[in-house]
């Protein structure tokens, strides 16, 4: 297959770079329209446009599309030892975009794995720490699921008691109304206490686990 002239391919590169700062949709549209020509650019120019395109589609929320493209530039970073892009650690940036895309496509285990790797590279990075925390909070253990189910059960029992109170007790067993009021209030309160406790426990357990991971990393570096 005939190669495109370097003059033509460079003009494609210049046109794309001129769009930098435009709406992400314009950048993505230009890249996809000229993808074959862009793939014929020199390595660093091609890599530069790949990264800018990935940032654009990430900002557009095209997470599935990003996951289909991102492995190639990550491999390029490793193979050609490309360290920076626009003054940022490009390898970590691409991994972060990949992890966030896994998160937004509900692939939490994969996202967790990537954010752990990023924290191993830079354990002082708050963004990585927050990303790992929010991901781990989405991975709900069975104990928390069971506690949530128990709280729902309390709410259901409370609703049943209210129904019995309204339909029967007030009409035929008025002397027992106060007992039913106490019962349904207690069940409703137990439902909320169980739910709030389980959510707080899960939140702080994740925070503790993340801090433990960072402490372990720091101690292993000594």
What is the model's pLDDT at position 170?
63
The secondary structure element, H or E, covering residue 85 is: strand 84-85
CA–CA separation, 148 and 207 (whole Å):
20
Mean pLDDT (whole number) for 181-198: 88
What is the model's pLDDT at position 2?
39
pTM here? Answer: 0.79
1 or 53, higher pLDDT: 53
Task: Provide the β-strand partners of residue 89.
Answer: 84
What region, left, alpha or beta, does residue 176 occupy, with left being phi > 0 and alpha being psi -120 to 50 degrees? alpha
60 or 173, higher pLDDT: 60
| pLDDT level of residue 184 (50, 70, 90 thresholds) | confident
Residue 200 near residue 211 (C-beta atoms within 8 A): no
What is the model's pLDDT at position 5?
47
Mean pLDDT (whole number) for 208-217: 81
Measured N-to-C along each axis, helices 43-59 and 90-104 cross at an angle, to the nearest 10 degrees, of: 30
70 or 180, higher pLDDT: 70
170 or 15, higher pLDDT: 15
167 or 206, higher pLDDT: 206
| pLDDT level of residue 19 (50, 70, 90 thresholds) | confident
Q: Is the pLDDT of residue 97 over 90?
A: yes
Domains of the chain by residue range = 6-108, 142-221
């Amino acid at each position: 297959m005939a190669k495109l002239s370097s003059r033509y391919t460079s003009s494609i590169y210049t046109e794309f770079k001129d769009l930098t700062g435009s709406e992400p949709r314009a950048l993505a549209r230009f890249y996809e329209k000229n993808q074959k020509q862009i793939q014929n650019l020199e390595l660093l120019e091609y890599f530069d446009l790949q990264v800018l395109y990935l940032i654009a589609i990430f900002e557009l929320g095209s997470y599935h599309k990003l996951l289909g493209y991102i492995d190639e530039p990550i491999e390029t970073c490793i193979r050609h030892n490309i360290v920076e892009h626009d003054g940022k650690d490009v390898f970590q940036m691409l991994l972060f975009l990949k992890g966030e895309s896994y998160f937004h496509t509900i692939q939490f285990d994969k996202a967790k794995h990537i954010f752990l790797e990023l924290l191993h590279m830079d354990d002082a990075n708050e963004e990585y720490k927050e990303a790992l925390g929010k991901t781990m909070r989405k991975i709900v253990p069975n104990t928390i699921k069971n506690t949530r189910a128990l709280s729902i059960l309390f709410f259901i029992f409370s609703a049943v008691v209210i129904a019995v109170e309204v339909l029967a007790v007030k009409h035929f067993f008025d002397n027992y109304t106060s007992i039913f009021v106490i019962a349904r209030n207690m069940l409703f309160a137990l439902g909320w206490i169980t739910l709030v406790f389980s959510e707080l426990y899960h939140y702080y357990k994740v925070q503790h686990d993340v801090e433990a991971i960072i402490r372990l990393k720091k101690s292993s570096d000594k």
